[in-house]
Amino acid sequence: MQLNLKFLFMENVFNYATTFFKNMSNLFLVMLSFGILAEVVFGTGAMFGVSVISNVMEVIRLLGDNGFVGLVALLILFKFVDQK
């Protein structure tokens, strides 16, 4: 009985953490999309005074410079974003 309660507690903790991180990643994707859209409409520095598009392009360039490791990282990121 005691083991079953501990299992249920840990399952609830993991479910809570998983839901939290999924929601945070969705929020970050929405903020990134909004930042890119705001920069296209209003110009550079429209979102918190930083250039979102240049930062995204820098990340893509860094992944491209790393060859195979960059490709694997990009695939992992795509898999993470593509989850539903």
What gap in Å lies between CA 3 and CA 54, rounded to an integer?
A: 52
What is residue 20's predicted lDDT score, i.e. its pLDDT?
A: 93
Rounded Cα gap, residues 2 and 20, in angstroms: 27
What whole-number distance in Å separates Cα of residue 22 and Cα of residue 31? 14
**Tokens linked to 30:** 């929405």
Residues 34-59 have pLDDT tens digits of: 888 888 888 877 777 778 888 888 87
Query: Of 62, 40, 65, whose CA–CA distance to 51 is shortest?
Result: 40
Query: Taking all residues of the chain, what is their mean pLDDT, rounded to a whole number?
Result: 79
